[in-house]
Chain A
Amino acid sequence: MAATAPLVLLIEDEPQMRRFLRTTLRAHDYQVVEAASAREGLAQAAGRNPEVILLDLGLPDLDGLEVTREIRRFARTPIIVISARGQEHDKVTALDLGADDYLTKPFGAPELLARIRVALRHSTFPPGTAPQPVFQAGELRVDLVRRQVFRADEEAHLTPTEYKLLAALIRHAGRVITHRQLLQEVWGANYADQSHYLRVYMAQLRHKLERDPTRPRLLTTEPGVGYRLREG
Chain B
Amino acid sequence: MVTAVLNRLRINEYASSVGIIATATVVGLLLSPHLQVIDVAMLYLLAVVVVGYLHRRGPALLASLLSIAAFDFAFVPPRYTFNVHDTAYYLTFGVMLAVALSMGQLTARIREQAQDAGEREGRARALYALSRDLSEVGDLQDQIQVVTRQISDAAHGEVQVFLDGSNRKLRADDWPVEGLFESLAVRIAAIWAYKNGESAGWGTRHCAEAEALVVPLKGASGIIGVVTVHPRSLDDVLAEPERETVEALAGQAAAAFERTSLSQAHEQARIEVESERLRTALLSSLSHDLRTPLGSIEGAASSLLQESSGLSPEAQQEMAETILEESRRMTRLVTNLLDMVRVETGALAVHKEWQPLEEALGVALLRLEERLLAHAVDIRLAPALPLVPIDELLIEQVFINLLENAAKHTPRGTPIAVSAWAENGSVMVEVVDRGPGIPLGEEETVFRKFHRTAGADHAGPAGGSGLGLTICRGIIAAHGGRMWLEQSAGQGACFRFTLPLQGPPLRAVPTEAVED
Give chain A's interface residues, CB within 8 Å of chain B: 85-86, 88, 106, 108, 147, 157-161, 163, 194-197, 199-203, 213-216, 220-221, 223-224
Find B355's partner among A147, A161, A196, A215 (CB 8 Å cutoff): A196
Give chain B's interface residues, CB within 8 Å of chain A: 324, 327, 331, 335, 338, 353-356, 358-363, 365-366, 379, 381, 387, 392-393, 396, 506-507, 509, 512-515
State in angstroms the CA–CA spacing of A106 and B327 once bound together.
9
Structural contact, B359 and A203, CB atoms closer than 8 A: yes
Known A-B contacts A106-B327, A106-B331; A159 and B514 likewise in contact (beta carbons under 8 Å): yes
Return the 5 tightest CB-CB contacts between A and B, nearest first. Answer: A196-B354, A157-B514, A199-B355, A159-B512, A214-B379
A212 and chain B: residue at smallest CB distance: B379
Find B359's partner among A157, A159, A202 (CB 8 Å cutoff): A202
Could you tell me the distance in whole angstroms from the C-beta of A207 to the nearest C-beta in chain B?
Answer: 9
When distances are taken between beta carbons in the complex, the residues of chain A under 8 Å from B507 are: 194, 196-197
When distances are taken between beta carbons in the complex, the residues of chain B under 8 Å from A159 are: 512-515
Structural contact, A221 and B512, CB atoms closer than 8 A: no
Structural contact, B365 and A215, CB atoms closer than 8 A: yes
12 A-B residue pairs with Cβ-Cβ distance under 8 Å, sorted by A, are A106-B331, A157-B514, A159-B512, A195-B354, A196-B355, A196-B506, A199-B353, A200-B509, A214-B365, A216-B366, A221-B392, A223-B360
Structural contact, B335 and A157, CB atoms closer than 8 A: no
Q: How many A-B residue pairs have CB under 8 A?
A: 71
Given contacts A195-B353, A223-B363, A223-B392, 14 further A-B contacts (CB under 8 A): A86-B338, A88-B393, A108-B324, A159-B514, A160-B512, A199-B353, A200-B387, A203-B356, A203-B359, A213-B362, A214-B358, A216-B362, A220-B366, A224-B393
State in angstroms the CA–CA spacing of A95 and B393 once bound together.
18
Structural contact, A160 and B363, CB atoms closer than 8 A: no
Tell which of A159, A196, A200 has the most Cβ of chain B within 10 Å. Answer: A196
Could you tell me the distance in whole angstroms from the C-beta of A142 to the nearest C-beta in chain B?
Answer: 13
Tell which of B362, B365, B387, B392 has the most Cβ of chain A within 10 Å. Answer: B362
When distances are taken between beta carbons in the complex, the residues of chain B under 8 Å from A160 are: 512, 515
State in angstroms the CA–CA spacing of A159 and B393 once bound together.
29
When distances are taken between beta carbons in the complex, the residues of chain B under 8 Å from A147 are: 515
When distances are taken between beta carbons in the complex, the residues of chain A under 8 Å from B360 are: 223
Tell which of B327, B359, B513 has the most Cβ of chain A within 10 Å. Answer: B359
When distances are taken between beta carbons in the complex, the residues of chain A under 8 Å from B509 are: 196-197, 200-201
When distances are taken between beta carbons in the complex, the residues of chain A under 8 Å from B515 are: 147, 157-160, 163
When distances are taken between beta carbons in the complex, the residues of chain A under 8 Å from B363 are: 221, 223
When distances are taken between beta carbons in the complex, the residues of chain B under 8 Å from A195 are: 353-355
State in angstroms the CA–CA spacing of A201 and B359 once bound together.
12
Structural contact, B514 and A158, CB atoms closer than 8 A: yes
State in angstroms the CA–CA spacing of A196 and B9 once bound together.
77
B506 and chain A: residue at smallest CB distance: A196
State in angstroms the CA–CA spacing of A175 and B507 once bound together.
29
Structural contact, A221 and B387, CB atoms closer than 8 A: no
B354 and chain A: residue at smallest CB distance: A196
Could you tell me the distance in whole angstroms from the C-beta of B316 to the nearest C-beta in chain A?
Answer: 16
When distances are taken between beta carbons in the complex, the residues of chain B under 8 Å from A88 are: 393
When distances are taken between beta carbons in the complex, the residues of chain B under 8 Å from A221 are: 359, 362-363, 392
Tell which of A85, A106, A200, A223 has the most Cβ of chain B within 10 Å. Answer: A223
State in angstroms the CA–CA spacing of A150 and B365 once bound together.
26
Structural contact, A215 and B392, CB atoms closer than 8 A: no
When distances are taken between beta carbons in the complex, the residues of chain A under 8 Å from B324 are: 108
Find B353's partner among A85, A161, A196, A215 (CB 8 Å cutoff): A196
When distances are taken between beta carbons in the complex, the residues of chain A under 8 Å from B354 are: 195-196, 199
Known A-B contacts A106-B331, A215-B365, A223-B393; A199 and B514 likewise in contact (beta carbons under 8 Å): no
State in angstroms the CA–CA spacing of A169 and B506 once bound together.
25
When distances are taken between beta carbons in the complex, the residues of chain A under 8 Å from B355 are: 195-196, 199
Structural contact, A199 and B356, CB atoms closer than 8 A: yes
